[in-house]
Amino acid sequence: MTLPLIADPLFYAAAVPAVILMGISKSGFGTGFGSLAVPILGLAVTVPQAAAIMMPLLLVMDLLGLVAFRKDVDRRLLGFLVPFGLVGIVIGALLFKFLDARMVAGIVGSITLLFLAQRLLFPPHSDSPTPPRWLGAILSTASGFTSFVAHAGGPPLTAYVLPLRLSPVVFTATISFFFFFINLSKWIPYAWLGLLDARNMVTALVLLPLAPVGVVLGVYIARRINPQVFYRIVYLGMFLTGSKLVWDGFLGA
């Protein structure tokens, strides 16, 4: 019996780097790059199918991240972020069939690039105030929403957490735990929407051995990198992500 598997070589040419990038972002090192995974996979399959294929891989990556950073998470911050992220998941699930995925990608990309422009034009100082909690609530909700639609929840959340000036390890741990809860909550609505079919799940199983590669690499680097270099790479990841999403949403064919 033939397994219901995607056999197109173009798909795997896109899937291999996409999965590794997602794994690196799950470690916290290169946060932002993970949002490129679904757009890259979208070169070969539809965005909803790409998001569904990533679901089992995200579960494995999230579990690896929990093990690696379980002692470093900011629990108080996490307790504030997660409920709003779950609200975003509910909104995404209810609106999924009515959304233009390209428009959502363009909006997320625009917000990401505007945040980076603000940080470059008006760089924060050591005595700069931290972002208000109401902004954290909005961006966490936006993160849950865009994570549900296209696994692109990293840029909105990073836009709030980055100015909090956490250490790289605490930043990484808190982001990792947040997306563990967010991704776990997606399974029931994804099944309800009919996205978790046999072909997508078998294809994800084939890609599963790649899941730990990026996570292990990213964890190794995140624990050893200079904080200044770490955040520069985060900014680079957000710039590339924002540019790609803007292209997909407003400029791509």
Q: 126 pLDDT exceeds 80?
A: no
Dihedral sign, CA of 88, 92, 94, 95?
Answer: positive
Report the pLDDT value the prediction gives residue 6, as an integer from 0 to 100: 77
**Who wins on pLDDT, 82 or 126?**
82
For every residue of 142-187, DSSP letters joined together read HHHHHHHHHS--HHHHHHHHGGG---HHHHHHHHHHHHHHHHHHTH
Is 15 within 8 Å of 3 (Cβ atoms)? no
CA angle 140, 145, 151 (to 5 degrees): 100
Report the pLDDT value the prediction gives residue 65, as an integer from 0 to 100: 75
Tens-digit pLDDT profile for residues 225-250: 776 776 677 677 778 777 877 887 77
Is 73 within 8 Å of 165 (Cβ atoms)? no
Is 231 within 8 Å of 162 (Cβ atoms)? yes
Report the pLDDT value the prediction gives residue 113, as an integer from 0 to 100: 80
Angle between helix 211-222 and helix 9-26 axes, rounded to 10 deg = 30
Report the pLDDT value the prediction gives residue 122, as an integer from 0 to 100: 61
3-state secondary structure of 157: helix
Quote helix, strand, coil % in the chain, to nearest 5.
Answer: 80, 0, 20
Mean pLDDT of 53-70: 82
Dihedral sign, CA of 131, 235, 239, 57?
Answer: negative
pTM as predicted: 0.74
Is 115 within 8 Å of 163 (Cβ atoms)? no
Q: 1 pLDDT exceeds 60?
A: no
Report the pLDDT value the prediction gives residue 253, as an integer from 0 to 100: 54
One-letter amino acid for residue 31 of the chain: T
**Who wins on pLDDT, 230 or 52?**
52
Tens-digit pLDDT profile for residues 136-172: 999 999 989 888 877 777 778 888 888 888 887 888 8
What distance in Å separates the CA atoms of residue 144 and residue 186, rounded to the nearest whole number?
A: 10
What distance in Å separates the CA atoms of residue 151 and residue 127, rounded to the nearest whole number?
A: 34
Q: How big is the chain by its Cα radius of gyration, in Å?
A: 17
Flag the least confident range among 42-56, 86-100, 127-141. Answer: 42-56
What distance in Å separates the CA atoms of residue 236 and residue 191, rounded to the nearest whole number?
A: 34
What distance in Å separates the CA atoms of residue 116 and residue 122, rounded to the nearest whole number?
A: 10
Report the pLDDT value the prediction gives residue 77, as an integer from 0 to 100: 94
The average confidence (pLDDT) of the chain is 79
**Who wins on pLDDT, 85 or 220?**
85
Mean pLDDT of 106-129: 70
**Who wins on pLDDT, 33 or 110?**
110
Mean pLDDT of 33-47: 71
